Amino acid sequence: MNRSGWQHWMMAAALLLGVGFAPRAHGQAPAADPQKDPTPTVNKGDAPEERPDPLKRRLSDRERIQQNKYLKQELKPDGTFKKWLEQDVVWIITDQELQAFKQLKNDEERENFIENFWLRRNPNPDSPDNEYREQHYARIAYANEHFAAGKPGWRTDRGHIYIAYGKPDSTDSRPSGGSYDRPIEEGGGQTSTCPFETWHYRYIEGIGDNIDLEFVDTCQCNDYHLTIDRSEKDALKYVSGAGATLYEQMGMANRQDRMSGGLEQLGKGPMSSSQQSKQFDRIALFAKVLAAPPIKFKDMEQYITSAQILKGPPFLFDVRTDYVKVTNDTVLVPVTLQIRNQDMTFQTKDGVSTATVNILGQVSNINHRIVQTFEDTVNVQEPSEFLAKTQQERKLYWKALPLRPGLYKVDIVIKDVNNPDHIGTWRRSLNVPKYDDDRLSASSLILASQMSRVPSKEIGAGSFVIGNTKVMPSVSPGPQTPVAFKKGNNLNFWMQVYNLGIDDKSKQNNAEIEYQVTDLTTNKQVLNTSESTAKMNPNADQVTLEKSLPLTSLTPGKYQLAIKVNDGVSKQQISQVAPFTVE
C-alpha cells in the first residue's frame, strides 16, 4: 500500500468513525494565514528600503509553474534521480526531504543532497563506511528475492516494512490459511482464513514496544498486503451460516454486529468494548509505521574519506568484482580480495603467528569525485608449528558496494603492518551495468569455493552474504587464468536472473534454465540439464540459482560452465559462462 493510497484509506476510516481527518499532501507546507501580509511597508523619507532576498521571496503562480516544468524535465521517467526517489529511498525519505529535493535546480545540488541524505543516517559519522546505506540496499535485495508477487519485492507491503524496519523478531506465517481459532476477545470459535502473516517487532524506535503487523493474501497470489482490519483474513466472514463465532453460536452476539461500524469487523467477545476503544491507537500506529523512519543522526559539515596512499615494494594480491541488481538504479558490487599467506609477514608470540593487513579502497566517478571509500584491518592467525604448511593458503576479504550504473575507477591499497614498506596497489576501471525493466538480464556468474545458507539473524548482512546465502567467490590469480577446483570438491555457483516475463493470465513466469559443463580440451559436453522457473519461484520476476556439482567424475583439465535462460513469456534469451579448471 503506497503513501497516497494509505492516506485515502485513512481518511475513509476516519469518516467511518465520525472523526475529522485531513492528511497533508506529500511534502505540502502548512497553509498561509491570509490576514498576515508578509511584505513590510516603508514610508517615503524613511531609512533606505532593505531589499528582500530574491531566493526567499514567494514565487508567483507563473514562476511556480515554470519551476515545476523544469523539475519534470530534470526528473524525466528514465532519469537517475527520479529512480532514486521512487525506488531506492521511497520508503525512508521524509516529506521535508522530498520537498527540499524538489526545490533543487541542477544535478550538482542533487548529488550533494543524496550524499548528505546518507550522511545524516550514518550510525558512525567518523567512519568512511556507511552501515545504514549498505544495510538498506541489502534489505532491498532481500525483499526482491523473497517478497516478489508479479511485481518487484520492494514494491510490496512486506518489502516496504522489511526495508524500513528490517527483519521482524518473530513471524507467525500461515501460507496456506486454513483452520483458525479466534481469540476469545474476538468472539472465539473456529473459521477458515486466507493466507496471512503476523510480524512481531519487540521494539521500533519512534513507534513503541511489541508491534504486531498483519499481512493478508486475499488474492492468494503471494501479494500480502498490510491490513488494519484483523478480520480481513477471515475467508468465511461473508458466507452465511459458516464461520460463526462462539458467542454467535451461543446466542450472545449477532453476526450483523460485526458489520455495525468501526475499523475492524471483529466478532463480539468479553472485551469487545476495549477492542473498539483501541481503534484510534491502531490508526496512530499504522500512520507511524507507514511514515518514513526518523533520522537518528544530525547533518555533518564534511566527510573525511581518505588516508595517504603509501608506496613501496609490491605486495601481491588478487581482486574480483561482481554485479548484483538491487533496484533499477542501484547495483551491489561485491569486491573480493585474495591474499596468499606467503606474501604476508607473520610475527610469532606464544605459539601463534599473526599477520595484519590494512586495506584502503576508493571508488571515484568519471568526474574524479569520490563516491565510496572503505578501510579495514584484516588479521590472519596460524599456529606457529603449522605456518610452513599453510604458506600456499589464501585469505579472502569482501566488501559490497552499492553503486549506480556507470563508469568508475577503483583504487585499492594494502599494507603489511608487520613490514610497513610492503605495499600493494590495484587500479581498474569499473563499468557497472544498467538493468532495464523490459530486458531479461542476470547478475555475475560467481564460482564459489564455499556456499551455504546463513542463520536467520545474518540474512542480508555480513561478509560474503548475498540475500540468505553465504557465497565465497573463487578468485583467479589473473584475468586470463580460470579459477581452480580440487577433484574431490564441489563446483559451487551462484547467479540471479532478472526481469522474467510474467504471464498476464496466470501471473506466473515460464522460463527454462539450462546448465552445461563443457570439456574445453575435447569440446564435448559432460553435463547438460535444465529446470523450469515455474517450479522454483513461479510468481517472481527474478530467481536465484544456487547449485553445487560434484567434480569426482571429471578428469583434471579445463572446463567451462554455461547457464542459458530461455524466457517463454518475453521470448528473450541470455547466457553466462565461466571457465574453471579441475586439479
pLDDT tens for 448-501 read: 989 998 887 666 667 888 888 999 999 988 777 899 998 888 899 999 999 999
Q: Where do the DSSP E strands lie in 37-139?
A: none
Q: How far is CA 204 from CA 2, 139, 171, 212, in A?
A: 20, 16, 15, 11
In this structure, which amino acid lies at residue 253? A
Residues 443 and 431 reside in one and the same domain: no
Residues 428 and 444 reside in one and the same domain: no
pLDDT at 561: 95
**Is the pLDDT at 23 greater than 50, yes or no?**
no
For residue 256, the 8-state DSSP code is G
Give the three-state DSSP class for 201.
strand
Q: How far is CA 323 from CA 101, 186, 402, 453, in A?
A: 29, 50, 10, 20
**Is the pLDDT at 548 greater than 70, yes or no?**
yes
Mean pLDDT of 1-30: 45
Residues 418 and 395 reside in one and the same domain: yes
Task: Read off the C-alpha cell for 367.
Answer: 568526474
From the list 216, 283, 293, the residue with the least C-alpha distance to 10 is 283
pLDDT at 129: 75
pLDDT at 69: 53
Highest mean pLDDT among 22-31, 246-255, 312-321, 564-573: 564-573
* Pure H helices in 419-537: none
In this structure, which amino acid lies at residue 319? V
Q: Which domain holds residue 514?
A: 436-583
Distance CA 89, CA 83 (A): 9
From the list 444, 546, 552, the residue with the least C-alpha distance to 490 is 552
**Is the pLDDT at 125 greater than 80, yes or no?**
no
pTM here is 0.60
Burial class of residue 241, CB neighbours in 10 A (0-12, 13-18, 19+): exposed
pLDDT confidence of 276, banded at 50, 70, 90?
Answer: low
Give the contacts of 43 (CB within 8 A, at least 6 positions apart).
none
pLDDT confidence of 260, banded at 50, 70, 90?
Answer: low
For Cα atoms 561, 563, 567, give the angle at the middle one, nearest 5 degrees. 170
**Is the pLDDT at 344 greater than 80, yes or no?**
yes
Q: Give the pLDDT confidence of 89-104 residue by residue, as tens digits.
A: 999 888 878 888 888 8
Residues 580 and 443 reside in one and the same domain: yes
pLDDT at 283: 80
Kindly state whether residue 318 falls inside one of the protein's structural domains: yes
Kindly state whether residue 10 falls inside one of the protein's structural domains: no
Contact 518, 562 (CB under 8 A): yes
Kindly state whether residue 355 falls inside one of the protein's structural domains: yes
pLDDT at 181: 86
Q: How many residues does the chain have?
A: 583
Distance CA 265, CA 230 (A): 8
From the list 387, 520, 456, 367, the residue with the least C-alpha distance to 173 is 456
Bigger pLDDT: 75 or 440?
440
Residues 380 and 330 reside in one and the same domain: yes
Residues 502 and 583 reside in one and the same domain: yes
In this structure, which amino acid lies at residue 377? T
Kindly state whether residue 474 falls inside one of the protein's structural domains: yes
pLDDT at 575: 95
Bigger pLDDT: 442 or 132?
442
Task: Read off the C-alpha cell for 152.
Answer: 518487484
For residue 279, the 8-state DSSP code is H
**Is the pLDDT at 567 greater than 80, yes or no?**
yes
Residues 414 and 443 reside in one and the same domain: no
First to last CA, the chain: 54
Kindly state whether residue 393 falls inside one of the protein's structural domains: yes
Highest mean pLDDT among 21-30, 216-225, 282-291: 216-225
Q: Give the pLDDT confidence of 31-90 residue by residue, as tens digits.
A: 444 444 444 444 434 444 444 544 445 556 665 555 555 555 545 444 678 888 888 999
Among 402, 435, 468, give the residue marking a domain's end.
435
Burial class of residue 474, CB neighbours in 10 A (0-12, 13-18, 19+): buried
Give me the phi and psi of 30, to 5 degrees please. Answer: -60, 150
pLDDT at 35: 41
Contact 475, 336 (CB under 8 A): yes
pLDDT at 58: 58
Mean pLDDT of 379-402: 88
Among 404, 420, 435, give the residue marking a domain's end.
435
Average pLDDT, the chain: 80
pLDDT at 31: 43
Kindly state whether residue 120 falls inside one of the protein's structural domains: no
Kindly state whether residue 61 falls inside one of the protein's structural domains: no
Q: Give the pLDDT confidence of 282-334 residue by residue, as tens digits.
A: 788 888 888 877 654 333 223 223 334 445 567 889 999 999 998 888 899 99
Among 435, 460, 495, give the residue marking a domain's end.
435
Count structural domains, the chain. 2
Highest mean pLDDT among 61-65, 108-112, 318-322, 389-393: 318-322
Give the contacts of 196 (CB within 8 A, at least 6 positions apart).
174, 177, 214, 215, 216, 217, 224, 233
Instruction: Give the CATH number, domain containing residue 573.
Output: 2.60.40.3880
Residues 346 and 447 reside in one and the same domain: no
